[in-house]
Chain A
Amino acid sequence: MTSIETDVRRYIVDKLLFGRTDTVVNGDTSFLESGLIDSTGVLELVAFLEEQFHIKVEDEDLIPANLDSINALTSFLERKSAASVNSQR
């Protein structure tokens, strides 16, 4: 498990499951469809991503393909980090 995925999983358990560990969230479980996240939850998730990973989440990033599962979030963050490194070269 990458450190990004570990951080994301910790956020899911702490903030979306209120510390409950009896619910299994698979890598491809949809946050929307499983009711883990609503419109306020998306804003909270954005705040976490920006603060934890020092990235700027743009309006056009706010789509389920980027944010709706652990796998989607992990690849989104990896892409964002890579883009940020490239832009600094």
Chain B
Amino acid sequence: MSQGQREFSADHLKLDAGKEAERIGAFIRDGVFKRLRRKGIVVGLSGGIDSSAVAALAVHALGADRVVGIFMPESDSSDDSLRLGQQLAKKLGIRTFKEDISGVLNGAECYRRRDEAIKAVVPEYHAGYKSKLVLSSLDSSEFRISYVVVQSPEGVQSKVRLTADAFLALVAATNFKQRTRKMMEYYYADRFLYAVAGTPNRLEYDQGFFVKNGDGSADIKPIAHLYKTQVYQMAGFLGVPDEILKRPPTTDTYSLAQSQEEFYFSLPYDKMDLCLYGKDHQLPASTVARAMAVTEAQVERVYRDIDAKRAVAHYLHMEPLLIEPIGTGGRHS
């Protein structure tokens, strides 16, 4: 695709969804049966677009009888997550299991540790409060500062800047959620000799929007190359229910509703896609700015934020360090 032929726009991210579904389908079949030598796929269903697209692609590739969906609600999950996940599973005709992970999280003291972290900066906070973690916007400063937003039982909200220690304690506690879900997915993978599918899209994978050994862990990641807008196109093509296609992306990790822009990305996903595409294809900030109807300076700031997040993501993507390679010799191909 030559950039010189037409003005850069969202059209550059348009997929031939049918062709791409075939390509991914072949990758899943080869990956699961030949390389991983497993009988099917387990996918955690959150009622969101990414896990829905992955489940639909897995069914497209392997057939419904080789796909298992797991619902894993906990005390802070939105009711919509379970309802929409069930709606999708019914439409796809796959086997499902429901595991409420609140008990495991309580056992690990996830909620107590989270509450303690918040109390360090909001002393009046107690279990009746709701909360979420938010980042300052890129427009206010290139330093993205973390705040906790709390809502009292009376509905009064306040936003307090986190200390480094409280921030790390809060994230470490809530990361139990993603890690517990992955543990449960691997239980079913072991139980049925299936592979676990990861559900990150390209934005999440590239920018490190996942928990190491939590949602970042999987045997196969079939949509990690797709921009988020392309995941929507793919999901639409595969017949994912409209309500899921229209649901705004959410992290579903905190008790107050939290958008992905509040928590991680600097712009809504459709604009982030354009910036990431522009950066990956060395497009000047001015070209991307025209396509998005924003200023060149804004795009330059997002380009720098992408680099900053890639630096953080590097650790998340790293394999364990070894003194020397092990077990790679003496094998005939």
Q: Which residues of A contact B (CB under 8 A)?
A: 32-33, 35, 38-40, 42-44, 46-47, 59, 62-64, 67-68
A-chain residues with CB within 8 Å of residue B270 when the two chains form the complex: none
Main SS class of interface, B: mixed
Does A39 lie within 8 Å of B146, measured CB to CB?
yes
Question: Would you call A43 and B142 a contact (CB within 8 A)?
Answer: no
Q: Is B311 an interface residue (CB 8 A)?
A: yes
B95 to chain A, nearest CB (A): 41
Q: Are B308 and A43 in contact (CB under 8 A)?
A: no
Write out, one digit per residue, whether chain B residues 142-168 have a CB within 8 A of any chain A CB (1) or not (0).
Answer: 111110000000000000011111011
Across the interface, B143 reaches (CB within 8 A) one of A33, A47, A62, namely: A62
B163 near A47 with CB under 8 A, answer: yes
Q: Is B308 in contact with A64, judged by CB distance below 8 angstroms?
A: no
Contact code string B120-160 (vs A, CB < 8 Å = 1, else 0): 00000000000000011000011111100000000000000
Whether B304 lies near A33 (C-beta < 8 A) is: yes
Q: Known: A40-B167, A43-B167. Contact between A32 and B142, CB under 8 A?
A: yes
Q: Does B312 contact A (CB under 8 A)?
A: yes
CB distance from A88 to the nearest CB of B (A): 25
Closest to B311 in A: A35
- Expressed in whole angstroms, the minimum distance between the Cβ of B134 and any Cβ of chain A is 12
CA distance A59 to B136 in the complex (A): 10
Candidates A32, A44, A59, A64; contact of B145 at CB < 8 Å: A59
**Residues in B whose Cβ lies below 8 Å from that of A62:** 136, 141, 143, 145
A67 to B308: give the CA distance in the assembly, Å: 16
| List of A residues within 8 angstroms of B167 by Cβ | 40, 43
CB neighbours of A38 from chain B (8 A): 308, 311-312
* The one of B136, B141, B142, B168 that contacts A40, using a Cβ cutoff of 8 Å: B168
Check A43–B163 contact: CB distance below 8 A. Answer: yes
Pick from A43, A47, A63, A64: contact of B146, CB under 8 Å: A43
Residues of A within 8 A of B146 (CB): 39-40, 43
**B-chain residues with CB within 8 Å of residue A63 when the two chains form the complex:** 141-143
The one of A33, A39, A46, A59 that contacts B144, using a Cβ cutoff of 8 Å: A39
Q: Which residue on A lies nearest to B159, using beta carbons?
A: A59
For residue A40, which residues in chain B have a CB less than 8 angstroms away from its CB?
146, 164, 167-168
Residues in chain B near residue A59, CB distance under 8 A:
136, 145, 161
Across-interface contacts of A46 in B (CB, < 8 A): 163-164
